Each structure stands twice: as structure tokens, then as C-alpha cells.
Chain A
Amino acid sequence: MGLLDKQLNDGNIVITKVEDLLNWARLSSVWQVGFGLACCAIEMMATSASHYDFDRFGVIPRPSPRQSDVIIISGTVTLKMALRVKRLYEQMPDPKYVISMGSCSNCGGPYWEHGYHVLKGVDRVIPVDVYVPGCPPRPEALLEGLLKLQEKIRNESIVKKSA
């Protein structure tokens, strides 16, 4: 972690690596696109609300993809919507992350066989960082997904290209 586990013995000087500092700043303020698709979006909103309080991890819904770091695909991605999801993702500035929330967006969910209108997994159009299983996942599960994403960001390198 670098920043926080160092004792502040030397007055107000903290020694850390640039990489750690950047990663720490990045993972502590992952702003999400204010965007929901289906019933998973209800759980996502519950996660944002006071009881589970997404904000304590630095997650705030932003009204524009251009101000966002993460897009949570919360619900069934229809073929019609998939094109819009892809466009939203392309409008986000780098570095950007994707959390696929729930069975539908992971793999098509209950629509996998007869859903003529459903994209069988959002990873067919945009790259996914974290998959959260569930139908819909409980807020705890989404929080776990976010912690996984933070762990991923924490281990990123500014030299090596991230996946």
C-alpha cells in the first residue's frame, strides 16, 4: 500500500512510489457511469444508498461517461442496447474499467437459449474486468466485486500496459 502503512515519523514527509500513489488515488475514487439496465440496477442503486453506501469506497454515479472511470453493466443487455453500451464505453476516458453485474450481463442468464433479442454476455462487445455472479447479486456481492476491482487497480503498473 505504501502511503498508509508508513509511520509518519519524519514530520510531514511521506515516502512512496509514484506508481503506488497513482494507483491509490485511482482506486479510491472510481466514479461510475450513472447507468442501469434492468433489475440488477435496483440492487446497484441499493448499494449506492445509505445502508450499503458505495460512496465510502469512492464510488459516485456521474451523469456523463466522460467523467467516469467504471461502468457497471447492471442487467440484461439486449442486442439493441449492446450498441449503445459499446458507445457509452467508448466515450469514457482511459483508464476505464467494466464490472459485469449479474447472470444476464455475464452470459445471457435465463435468456441464454431462447432470448432471440439478448446479447449472451456483455464481454462480446466490451472488455470486462470483474464478473459479479447472481440473479441479481446482493449489494454485498457487488461490493465484493468492487473490492476485487480495487485490488486489480492496486497492482497496476504505469510501465506495463494493463489488460
Chain B
Amino acid sequence: MKSTEEVFEILKGRFGDAISELVTGQPAESYFSVSPKEINKICFYLRDTEELLFDNLMNLSGVDDDNGEKKTAEDGSFTTFGGTLSVFYHLESTSLKHKVTIRVSVPRETPELESVAEVWRCADWHEREAYDLIGFNFLNHPDLRRILMPYDWEAGHPLRKDYKNPEFYQGMKVPY
């Protein structure tokens, strides 16, 4: 059993600057941040190292951090510039019975990070969902298509804070 702090120290010793910002003492679980370009390497290490053995990706979810600069239009809608979007990874080791939470933040304008679908196969659909609803670009993903919204949905990614729903889709009126 390793605590988040211990996992953080192990990774810090091995990967250095790619690991940062350990957040503890919150009501929710502790987490630390990982660089978007190295998340797949680090996940391989987390899965295969003897003392960690994180064999289960319990969940992968996307968050719009809503920390950019907002420009409000006349109709009350707003567009966000700058700030970050984040992906959270919840890992578990079924043999060693420990868990860890990892955060990867990417800039809103270029939300690119490495895919972990090669590390845990279940990440494939989770990443497709995060791409569909928030709009992350998972590099080296085997099949990065929309999974929930229609394939020809052109209005963007609905769970972004500055998302605007279209008037029409395929000739059907969308608003109430």
C-alpha cells in the first residue's frame, strides 16, 4: 500500500520536472499533476513497476477549469480565452490495494496530451468521451471519434463552459 504522497515521491525521483503540484488536505482525495506529453510513459511506469502495479484505470474524466478570461457578447453568452482544461485519471491497484489520482492540465487553445489507451485498453472509450464532450486532442489514440454526440455534430464540445448550442441540427430545431 502506497499513499498518494509516496507515489508522488517515487515518480518525482524518476521523472523529475514532469511531475508537479501535489495537492493534499482537501475534502476530496489528494492528487498531483503530470506533464501532458509524458503521461503515457508515466502511466506505463505506474502499471508495470513492482511496488506500484496500477493495473486498473477506474475512471478518466475531463474538466473545464473555467479559469480563463471571459468576454461577454451582447446576447449574454460568453467566450472564454486562455485558462486550462484538465483530465483526471483515477488509478487503482487490484493486487496492492492502493489508489491514486492524477491530473493533467492543458491550455484551452491547444488541448493536446498523450493517449493512455495503449496502457489500459478501457481508456479508449473514456478518452473518446472526453474528446467528444470537452474537446481534448489525445495524441496517438487508436480511433479518436465522437462517441455520444452524432458523428456530424459541428457545434463543438457541449461540456465546455462557453459552449453555445446551435439553432438547428439536420433540419431539426434544437432550442425549446
Residues on A facing B (Cβ under 8 Å):
79-80, 82-83, 107-108, 112-113, 116-117, 119-120, 124-125
B176/A116 in contact, CB under 8 A = no
Instruction: State whether A120 touches B150 (Cβ < 8 A).
Output: no
Asked if A80 and B176 make an inter-chain contact with CB atoms under 8 angstroms apart, the answer reads: no
Whether B173 lies near A116 (C-beta < 8 A) is no
A105 to B2, CA, bound (A): 50
Alpha-carbon distance between A119 and B172 when the two chains are bound, in angstroms: 8
Given A79-B150, A80-B149, A80-B150, A116 and B163 contact (CB-CB distance below 8 Å): yes
Interface positions of B from 159 to 176, Cβ below 8 Å from A: 163, 165, 169-170, 172-176
Main secondary structure of the interface of A (DSSP, over half): loop
Name the residue of chain B whose CB is nearest to the CB of A79.
B169
Using CB atoms, name the residue of chain A closest to B155: A116
| Of A83, A107, A108, A117, the contact of B158 (CB 8 Å cutoff) | A117
- B residues within 8 A CB of A116? 158, 163, 165, 174
Q: List 8 A-B contacts (CB under 8 A).
A: A79-B170, A79-B172, A116-B165, A117-B148, A117-B149, A119-B172, A124-B173, A125-B172
The distance in angstroms between the C-alpha atoms of A82 and B172, with both chains bound, is 9
Q: What 20 new A-B contacts, CB under 8 Å, besides A117-B149, A120-B176?
A: A79-B169, A79-B170, A79-B172, A80-B149, A80-B150, A82-B172, A83-B150, A107-B176, A108-B176, A112-B176, A116-B158, A116-B174, A117-B158, A119-B172, A120-B173, A120-B174, A120-B175, A124-B172, A124-B173, A125-B172
The residue on A at minimum CB distance from B158 is A116
Give CA–CA (A79, B150) in the complex, Å. 8
Interface of B is mostly: loop
Of A79, A80, A125, which is within 8 A of B174 by CB?
A79
CB A103 to nearest CB in B, in angstroms, measures 13
Complex Cα–Cα for A83 and B176 (A): 18
Complex: A113 Cα to B163 Cα, angstroms: 14
**Considering the complex of A and B, which 10 residue pairs feature the smallest CB-CB distances, nearest first?**
A80-B150, A116-B158, A112-B176, A120-B176, A116-B165, A79-B169, A124-B172, A82-B172, A108-B176, A119-B172
Partner of A83, one of B170, B173, B174: B170
Residue of B nearest to A118 (CB): B174
* Complex CA–CA separation, A82 to B153 (angstroms): 14
Instruction: Give Cα A116 to B165, complex, Å.
Output: 6
Q: How far is the CA of A112 from the CA of B158 in the complex (A)?
A: 15
Distance of A112 Cα from B174 Cα, bound (Å) = 10
Chain A nearest CB from B146 CB (Å) reads 10
Shortest C-beta distance, B133 to chain A (Å), equals 10
Distance A101 CA – B21 CA, assembled complex (angstroms):
51
Question: What residues on A are CB-neighbors of B165 within 8 Å?
Answer: 116
**Shortest Cβ gap from A80 to chain B (Å):** 4
In the complex formed, the residue of A with least CB distance to B150 is A80
Residues from chain A with Cβ under 8 Å of B175 in the complex: 120
Report the separation of the CA atoms of residues A116 and B150 in the bound assembly, to the nearest whole angstrom. 12
Give the complex CA separation of A23 and B54 in angstroms: 67
CB neighbours of A82 from chain B (8 A): 172
Report chain B residues within 8 Å CB of A120.
173-176
Q: Bound complex: CA of A80 vs CA of B148, how far in Å?
A: 9
